[in-house]
Amino acid sequence: MTCGIYQITNIKNGKIYIGSSQNIKMRWKDHLSKLNRDKHCNRHLQRSWKKYGDSEFLFEIIEYCDDTSRILQREQWFFDNVIRWGFDYNMNNTAGRPPILMGINNPMYGKSVSSDTRRKISDANKKNTGEKSSFYGKYHSPSAKLKIKKSQTGSGNSSSKLTEEKVLEIKKMGKSGKLTQKGIAQLFSVHQSTVSKILCGKIWGHV
C-alpha cells in the first residue's frame, strides 16, 4: 500500500489534478473507473478525458508520505504552491474536502424544480414553524445559551484544529512579521484564510 501525493497530467494542454491517498493504487483505479464510465465528480477533468482520451493523461506519484497524519498537510502545500487555480482541474483549494460543484459541474445545473416539488418542500417546512414547532413558546436559559456559544467557538468547536495556545502563537508570529500568512498556515496545518481571519480578529477574538 502506497501513501502519498499523486498527480494526473493532461499531456496535451499541461493541466493537472493533484490529490492524496493512503492507498494510491486503489485511488487511481477509482479515478479510472469513474472517468471511463463518465461518472467522475470533477466534470472539468471528465470533459477533458472524453475529449482527449486516456492515452493523453499521465498518472504519477509526486511525493511519498510515510506519516499518514501529515498527508493532508502535504497535499495542502501542493494546493498552495503548485495548483494554478482557475486553470488546472482541482476545484477545491482545501485538502480533505470534496469538490465544490458549481456551474456546469453541479448535477442540478440547467435543471429547474417543478412547481409540485416546490409545493411539497413548502408544505414540509410549514409543519415545523410557528405553533407546530416543538420549540414554540420555549426559550434557552442564559446558561444554555452560554454553553451553545462555547461549543461553536474556539477550541469548543469539535471541528477546530486549533487550541487557544496555538492561536496565541499564530498571533505572535503574525505580529513579528517573520513568516507570511501562508507559512504560518502550513506550520499549523490550517488554511491561509484561517490565519488571516485570526490576525484581523474575525475569529478567535476572545483569545
pLDDT digits (tens, 9 = 90+) for 2-39: 899 999 999 999 999 999 999 999 999 999 999 999 99
pLDDT over 70 percentage in the chain? 78
Residue ending a domain, among 60, 80, 105, is: 105
DSSP state of 50: H
Contact 158, 150 (CB under 8 A): no
Query: Is residue 75 one of the residues assigned to a domain?
Result: yes
Domain match, 95 and 170 both:
no
Confidence (pTM): 0.51
Query: Is residue 43 one of the residues assigned to a domain?
Result: yes
- Taking only the tens place, the pLDDT of each residue in 107-142 is 566 677 788 888 887 777 776 666 666 666 777 677
Q: How many C-beta atoms lie closer than 10 Å to residue 55's C-beta?
A: 7
- In the chain, which ranges are E strands? 4-10, 16-21, 57-64
pLDDT over 90 percentage in the chain? 36
Q: What is the mean pLDDT of residues 155-181?
A: 77
DSSP state of 185: H
Residue ending a domain, among 66, 83, 105, is: 105
Q: What is the mean pLDDT of residues 158-174?
A: 79
| Total number of domains in the chain | 2
CA nearest to 78, candidates 200, 173, 88:
88
Q: List the CATH number of the domain containing 80.
A: 3.40.1440.10
- Mean pLDDT over the full length of the chain: 82
Instruction: Find where cell 500500500 sits.
Output: 1
Beta-strand relationship, 16-21 and 57-64: unpaired
Domain match, 179 and 100 both:
no
Domain match, 83 and 174 both:
no
DSSP state of 205: T
Domain match, 163 and 95 both:
no
d(CA 24, CA 28): 6
Which range of residues forms the domain containing residue 54? 4-105
The confidence score (pLDDT) of residue 147 equals 64
The confidence score (pLDDT) of residue 189 equals 80
Query: Residue 92: pLDDT band by 50, 70, 90 thresholds?
Result: confident
- Burial of residue 178 (CB within 10 Å: 0-12, 13-18, 19+) is exposed
Task: Please give the grid coordinates belonging to residue 107.
Answer: 448535477
Query: Is residue 129 one of the residues assigned to a domain?
Result: no
Q: What is the mean pLDDT of residues 159-187?
A: 82
Beta bridge partners of 179: none
